Structures are given as C-alpha cells and as structure tokens.
Structure 1
Amino acid sequence: MPTVSTWLNPSTFKLLEDFAESVNSSPSKLIKQMIEDKIKHYYSEEYARKVEELYRWLYYEGDYLPFDIYAKRILKNKNSEAILSIISTNDELRVLLKTLGMLMLVVSCKSYSDISSEDILMIKNIKYAIIDEIKGIKVYYKPLFYAKILWLKCIDKIRNASLNNQRDWEKYAFTCGLQAITFLSEDTLSEIYNKLGLHNIEDRWKELIKYAINITNSPEKIVEKCANCRSEIINGKCSCKITIKYLSDINL
C-alpha cells in the first residue's frame, strides 16, 4: 500500500509532517483521522436529516397509524440505523434501550419458551420501569430528541398491541429488540441467543428471524404528501394547494 508521501507533493507532505510532529502524531495517522472524521460528519448529517424526515411523518401521519404499519417503517434498516445511531451518542439511552431490546426478545418468545409466568411478569415490570426511566431522560439536541420519540413511539405501539393481544405483535417486538441490539450492542446475535438461553425454542427463533429480515429489508416507496389533506403531491401540487409537505412510505 502506498505511503502518504507518494501521493502528496513534497512541499505539502513536509507541511503535514511538521504539523504531525507538533501534535505528537504522524502524517498517516492525521490523514486517517481526517477521513474518519469526515465520514462520521457525513453520516451524522444524513442520520439527522432522516430522523427529522421521520419525525415530520410521525407528526402528520405516523402517530395515527396501526402499530404494525408504524413499526414497518421505523424498523426498516435505513430508518432504524439512523434513529439508533443517533441514540447511541447518548450513553444512558444506549444502555437502557439495548437492555430493553434484549427483554423484548425474551417476551416475544414467551409463548414458546419454558420461562415461568412469574419470571415473565418480572421481565415486563422491568421493561415498564426502563421505559419510564427513558422517558424521564431530558435531551436537548434536536436529532436525539426526534430519535428518542420515534423509537419510544414504536415500543409503545407494540406494547399496546401486546396488551390487546393483537395479531403478530410478537414479530414486531422481536424485530424491534433485534434492531436495538444490532445497532446499540457489541454482542453478536449468536452471543445474545446463548446469553438468553433460548436453545429450547431454536425453531421459533429461526422463524422470527425470517420475519424480522422481511420487515427490516422491505424496500421503501417514498412519496410527498400534503400535511393538510394527506393526498399525494404530484408535480408539486395537491388538490387543496397547501404547501406543507412530508414524506410518506406507501410500501407499508
């Protein structure tokens, strides 16, 4: 692999070398840091735009949708990645939501495992306590505020669906927990599987993984909608001529 000196002209490399020496570094380390910082900055801006877009959708449409339709959009990989990557910048939220994700995995498998009803009740009580604690955490960075609201709304909708015993709530609880662990934990999926001791429900685990893959990899079909009449905007116009717009995914 070529060194930094081979693709910078000598005078520029000398300036870089002098600066690197002044900060106890090396030219290659400085270049590496600059590239990494640029990439992080790019993705943080992309994530911020994505969560702002999703928050507008939540405000105008998502809040009123059934739990499964709302969850389908939030749990798609690009959306979960943006939301949870921003959440991961806050250590307190990251740890709590990672723990909550693991508990959601366990609860979603409860009908097929040998976990006692007493233990399930304890897990649920811990879940509710964690959710209350998360809601009490104050955040002032706008993208983080949006990300927290979007993810908690998904959890709340799934929780309400489980309380009402709505169809397929387990699939979405499992997927939500899986996404939280994927983006907030350093543990691999197999390590989580072993930690939770779910070997006795391997077939059910594999089945839920398939559902999760379908949900998270579902393609988006984004259209502009009018915030007033909720109709699709075509050629920059809608029937009511209101100019407030938001982006909706019609592949849900």
Structure 2
Amino acid sequence: MAVTAELLRELHRMHQQLADLRERLERGPRQIRARELNVEKFNEQLSDAQTTMQKTKMAADQKQLDLQTGENKIVDLGAKLNTSSSNKEFHALQEQIAASKMANSVLEDEILESFDKVELLKQAVAKAQHEANAGKAELEKSREKVAAEAVLMKADMTRLEGELAEAEKGLTGDFREDYNRVIRSKGADGMSLADGRICTGCGQQMTLNMHNDLLLSKPIFCKACGRMLYIGEE
C-alpha cells in the first residue's frame, strides 16, 4: 500500500509540534536561570551599596571622634596658655590653638559632607533593596509559571507521541526504514513540503523524475539537504 502525502503531512505536522513543545520546555529553565542571575546581580548591588554606606558612616563617626579629640586638645592648650610662663611659650601655644581650630574647621566641613553622602547612600540602598525584592518576586512568578506550563506541555507531548506512534503504523516497508533514518538524524527538520518541484526546506529544485516519483508516493529525498519530501494539499 502506497504511503499517502496526507500521512506524511500529518507526520511532519506532529513532529514540528513536538519539536516546538520540546524547545518551549527547554526554554523554561533558561528563563528561570536568567532571572536567577538578575537576582544575584541585584543582591550584589545591594550588598555593595550597604557596604559603601556602612564605610561612609564609620568614616563620619571617626571624624566626629577626631573632632571631639581636637576640641579637647584646644581646651587643654587654653589651660596651658593661661599658665604659660614666657612669651615664647605663650605664642607657641597660640599657634597650636590656631592650628587645632583650623583642623577642626576642616573636620566639621568633612563631617557635614559625610552626612550628605550617607543620606544619598541610604537612598541608593533603598533603591537596591527595592530592585532586589522585585527581582525575587519576578523569579518566583517565573518559577510558578514555568512549572505550570511544563505540566501542560508534557501532557501535550504525551498525547502527540501517542498520536504519532499510531500514525506511523501507516508507514510500510522500505518507506518506514527511510523515514526512521531521516527522523533519527534530523528530527522535525528531516521532512519538507515540496512546492511544485522546489524543496521548501532549502529552496533547491528537484529533477523531473524525482517529482514524478513523488507524485507516485515513492520516498523521495532532497539531494541538497536530505529531507524527505512530500507534496502539499491540492
């Protein structure tokens, strides 16, 4: 019994659907991994922002301690100034007090600048935290969606595989062997529609004899790409 073009069309359709389902099934874990990488990136950014803010706060705290030490030094120098026993000592203490006041003034400016930086860094941390939380939420949604879709796709694949096995029973003899060989080698790309004398898989033209054999339902393969050819619906 000759294998009909209708059967080959149906077989190719099912192989294409199965290939599409497999590709979609494999795409799910890749999508999840991409979101996991995003979450890792957001967490790193959050950690960096927190570390930078903490270091800036610690530096500001240290400057405040240095300022307090400087102010205490000025008090001590003032006490010594009041009890100085010579003009030389008096002028030396005045110079030290002036230098300490200048250093404290610089520290005060730096402390105010540090406070401004800390406020900006708090905003950066809040933003990074928001992005990290949003990334985690998207990851969980993606996992749930992929898992739900996988259940449906596996069910469709099981159904199609059953229908394919049933349809393949219509293949006979050498035709079945040729079909199995090309499907094992190329999968869904192992078959192609012939548009007139043109293989739609690669665009190459078949010979007239090949086209005639195809019309007689003989197994014909494109000489250029090796696909099993079948004719379309009239």
Same fold (TM over 0.5): no
Q: TM-score range by the shorter chain?
A: under 0.3
**Greater share of residues in helix:** 2
**Greater relative contact order (Cα 8 A, min sep 6): structure 1 or 2?**
2
